[in-house]
Chain A
Amino acid sequence: MADDPDLPLLQRFAKGDNAALGELARRYEQPLLGLALGIVNNRELARDAVQDMWVRVIRAAASFQAQSSVRTWMYRILINRAITLRQAAARKPVAVLDADAGAMHPPHGAGEDAERIRAAVRELPENQQLILVLSYHEGLTHEAAAEVLGIPLGTLKSRLHAALTALRARLGAEVVA
């Protein structure tokens, strides 16, 4: 991972340069928030997940072993943390996951169709939801998504295909391919 453009920033931060962490945040905080939102379906939980991720990055910056790229490492931390938060929230008696589902998404995916698609995705198994969210996340290519999930690209594609098929099935015959 010698050609990782984010590694010097992390190393600088580990030596005490907080501005380097600011630069990393400038590059990734917004996409990371979006991904967290896609997983937990709640703005507050998404913010918590991202903040927890930064805490972990700050504490482990000095011991980062560069076995993956910094971006992959950060995405993995975020996904694991977001999944944990989502599961914890699901165990609460009052469901908060969909509390602001209607208001959280921007108008560019707006409309009744987008809402139906999101609802259909939420009905899928968790691993298929994650494949879909990660594969359609604007910050990641399919190669990068496969690396984050620790699976080969071919496996990602086949799982993505299966998830899309399942989603289309949920949306019924209305789908026009």
Chain B
Amino acid sequence: MTIDQGKIDTGLASMSAWSEAPAGLWQAALESTRPVRRHRLSRPAKIASAAGVLVLLVMVVGAILPSLGKARASARSIRGDMTVDAQVSSPSVMAKAEQRNRAPSTVAMGYAGEPPPSMDLPPASAAPVVPGARGNPQVETNPAADRMVIRKATIELKTRDVRGVFVKSAQVLSEAQGEYIESSTLSGEGENTQGTLTLRVSAARLSALLNSLRGLAEVTSENATGEDITDQFVDLEARLRNEQRVETELLDLLASRKEAPLREVLELRDSISRVRESIERMAAQKERLSRLVSLATVLVIIRPDSTKPAPIPDGLGGYFMKQLRASWQSSLTFLADSIAFLLRVLVGGAVFWVAAAVVIAAILMARRRAIRRLGREPAPAL
């Protein structure tokens, strides 16, 4: 049976002919994709979402930054300690450190009506600690641990009620911890009344006590010093031990030379007496130093506040104006705080922003590439 070309052409054409009516498949496809299309966000919704994500990022970075700052500071301090430890072996560095330790450190601030920032001091050795000798490795490796520091602070307060603050200042002491008033003076009459107290407080409680005093009245000035007497104490101890050794030797000598001439015995007794006196003097000095270290000295000066009180506005209008002014001030403060916060987040979190930008750029590029791929169709492979 023969098949001519015409039949082949007809047969081939019939292979890709659709005899039925169109099936409306496009509508079915439209229906099936509708949920996807409905979930597409409009432009305002996209902008709102992006803004929400940005705000969230700012909050997260803002929350992360302070803890990061603390971690960095702590790491720096650890590195600093390690550096000091490493440098102690150098004689010149040790000499410099000794010089620095001998010089009293002073923090002083003057105020012009503004409350001072708190000066929280690290607690000194509450109990008199006897550090090791100069060659003691404990002193070299951890100098802060056994340091003996004499703390002194002066705080000047301004108030309308000098007598009230004077009494309250005396009440912040804790007698249970051996704290006491070394001296107190209240002089003047009426608006010229002025009070001064010298308080001896536990060195460990100095910061807390200063905080209590700050709460009593307006602080006009504050000053704190710390004198490191570790070396002095160590020298004193060494000399004391030496004198005690000499005393023991002299006593032994006296016991063994009972048959010696009277003159020699009397000379020996004189020497023992001199050594004994020296020992007692040094022991007293040591005791005094220990007391100075364990109890910090706080000088409280209370002066009258001579400024006239602000006139209290009368009536509802005055009250309204006062509230308005207060609100305006607090709004400006809040604005300044907000700007400072944003600046901190923007600049301090630069690393996070760069990382976020890289991630977002990568996502956008991948998305664009996917869209491009979607809009193109490769030719069928033959």
Q: Give 1 or 0 for each of B364-382: 1 = CB within 8 Å of chain A CB.
A: 0000000110111111101
- Residues of B in contact with A, size category: 35 or more
**Contact of A33 with B23 in the complex, beta carbons under 8 Å:** yes
Within 8 A of A (CB), among B225-263: none
B327 to chain A, nearest CB (A): 50
Main secondary structure of the interface of A (DSSP, over half): helix
**Contact of B375 with A60 in the complex, beta carbons under 8 Å:** yes
Q: Give 1 or 0 for each of B1-21: 1 = CB within 8 Å of chain A CB.
A: 111110111111111111110
Question: Could you tell me the distance between the alpha carbons of A73 and B379 in the complex, rounded to whole angstroms?
Answer: 9
B315 interface residue per 8 A CB criterion: no
Contact of A67 among B24, B25, B374, B376 (CB under 8 A): B376
Q: Give 1 or 0 for each of B119-139: 1 = CB within 8 Å of chain A CB.
A: 000000000000000000000
Question: Could you tell me the distance between the alpha carbons of A43 and B357 in the complex, rounded to whole angstroms?
Answer: 51
Known: A21-B30, A54-B26, A64-B375. A175 touches B4 (CB 8 A): yes
The residue in chain B whose Cβ has the minimal distance to the Cβ of A104 is B19
A101 to chain B, nearest CB (A): 10
**Contact of A149 with B379 in the complex, beta carbons under 8 Å:** yes
The residue in chain B whose Cβ has the minimal distance to the Cβ of A133 is B16
Contact of A117 among B11, B25, B382 (CB under 8 A): B11
The residue in chain B whose Cβ has the minimal distance to the Cβ of A108 is B14
Question: Could you tell me the distance between the alpha carbons of A117 and B9 in the complex, rounded to whole angstroms?
Answer: 10
Within 8 A of A (CB), among B1-54: 1-5, 7-20, 22-30, 32-33, 36-37
**Contact of A37 with B376 in the complex, beta carbons under 8 Å:** no
The residue in chain A whose Cβ has the minimal distance to the Cβ of B11 is A117
Question: Could you tell me the distance between the alpha carbons of A38 and B17 in the complex, rounded to whole angstroms?
Answer: 8
Known: A59-B374, A63-B372. A50 touches B25 (CB 8 A): yes
Residues of B within 8 A of A67 (CB): 376
**Contact of B372 with A65 in the complex, beta carbons under 8 Å:** yes
Residues of B within 8 A of A31 (CB): 18
Most-contacted residue by chain A among B5, B18, B36, B382 (CB, 10 A): B18
The residue in chain B whose Cβ has the minimal distance to the Cβ of A112 is B1
**Contact of B7 with A34 in the complex, beta carbons under 8 Å:** no
Known: A106-B14, A113-B7, A117-B8. A76 touches B380 (CB 8 A): yes
The residue in chain A whose Cβ has the minimal distance to the Cβ of B370 is A63
**Contact of B26 with A76 in the complex, beta carbons under 8 Å:** no
A1 interface residue per 8 A CB criterion: no
Contact of B22 among A33, A56, A58, A76 (CB under 8 A): A33
A47 interface residue per 8 A CB criterion: yes
A154 to chain B, nearest CB (A): 15
Question: Could you tell me the distance between the alpha carbons of A59 and B34 in the complex, rounded to whole angstroms?
Answer: 10
Contact of B380 among A30, A52, A79, A109 (CB under 8 A): A79
Most-contacted residue by chain A among B12, B13, B372 (CB, 10 A): B12
Within 8 A of B (CB), among A5-48: 18, 21-22, 24-26, 29-31, 33-35, 37-38, 46-47
Known: A59-B36, A64-B375, A176-B2. A109 touches B25 (CB 8 A): no
Question: Could you tell me the distance between the alpha carbons of A137 and B18 in the complex, rounded to whole angstroms?
Answer: 11
Q: Give 1 or 0 for each of B331-346: 1 = CB within 8 Å of chain A CB.
A: 0000000000000000
**Contact of B374 with A106 in the complex, beta carbons under 8 Å:** no
A110 to chain B, nearest CB (A): 8
**Contact of B7 with A59 in the complex, beta carbons under 8 Å:** no
Residues of A within 8 A of B16 (CB): 34-35, 37-38, 133-134, 136-138
Question: Could you tell me the distance between the alpha carbons of A175 and B2 in the complex, rounded to whole angstroms?
Answer: 5
Question: Could you tell me the distance between the alpha carbons of A141 and B238 in the complex, rounded to whole angstroms?
Answer: 113
Known: A37-B16, A108-B14. A116 touches B3 (CB 8 A): yes
A56 to chain B, nearest CB (A): 8
Residues of B within 8 A of A73 (CB): 377
A174 to chain B, nearest CB (A): 5
Given A52-B29, A80-B380, 12 extra CB contacts under 8 A: A37-B15, A57-B29, A63-B372, A64-B375, A105-B17, A106-B14, A108-B10, A117-B8, A131-B382, A149-B380, A151-B382, A175-B8
Q: Report which B residues bind A (CB closer than 8 A).
A: 1-5, 7-20, 22-30, 32-33, 36-37, 371-372, 374-380, 382
27 contacts between A and B (CB under 8 A): A25-B22, A26-B22, A29-B25, A29-B26, A33-B20, A33-B22, A34-B16, A34-B18, A37-B17, A38-B16, A51-B28, A51-B32, A54-B28, A73-B377, A80-B380, A108-B14, A114-B11, A130-B382, A150-B378, A150-B380, A164-B8, A175-B2, A175-B3, A175-B4, A175-B5, A176-B3, A177-B5
